[in-house]
Amino acid sequence: MATKKFETLDGIDSRGDVTISGNVVVNSNTLFVDTANGRIGINTDNPLRVLDINGTALANAFNPGLETVSPAANVDLDFTQHSNYEITLDQNVQFTFTIDSECRGQTGMIIIHQDGAGGRTFALPSEAKTPVSGASIVQQTDSNTTSTINYFIVDVNTVLVNYIGDFQ
């Protein structure tokens, strides 16, 4: 079977860059590029995130990143923007969570470092649910220690959390 290479198709030059203004749609919703919102949908024509895959994905590697936040009396962890957070406590912190319905099923980590003075504590919002009927978290507050909170978002009102303390 012979194949023919073409260099132009209706004014598109395949030897260089291609610029398309407007959305790109392949087979209804197999691939959808939403140029107005800067999003790509696979098996959806209404992507809600930068990359929205409706189905199972296979990847050789995936790195959701680690967002470092500055300590303050009140720190919002926006789970609509990031999955993993890191903070070094230099004061006591009250966490709040920003969650929407699209976060359902999301999991991640919050890495908490104590500064050189130590003794800092954090408080979680009411959405955070701990094991053993809501048992209090016994926090590691020694100086220069690291602890983690693993979480799973059930819905906008329920975030299952598990605290693991003192990695040195």
Sequence-distant (≥ 6) Cβ neighbours of residue 69 within 8 angstroms: 75, 77, 85, 86, 87
Q: How high is the pLDDT of residue 55?
A: 86
Amino acid of residue 113: H
pLDDT 10s per residue in the chain (168 long)? 455 454 555 655 566 666 777 888 888 878 889 988 989 999 998 888 888 888 888 777 777 789 999 999 999 999 998 999 999 999 999 999 999 998 999 999 999 999 999 999 999 999 999 987 777 888 999 999 999 999 999 999 999 999 998 776
pTM for this entry? 0.72
Collapsing DSSP to helix, strand or coil, 101 comes out as helix
Residue 49 is predicted with a pLDDT of 82
DSSP 8-state symbol, 81: T
Please state the φ and ψ torsions of residue 13, each to the nearest 5 degrees: -95, 115
Distance CA 158, CA 137 (A): 17
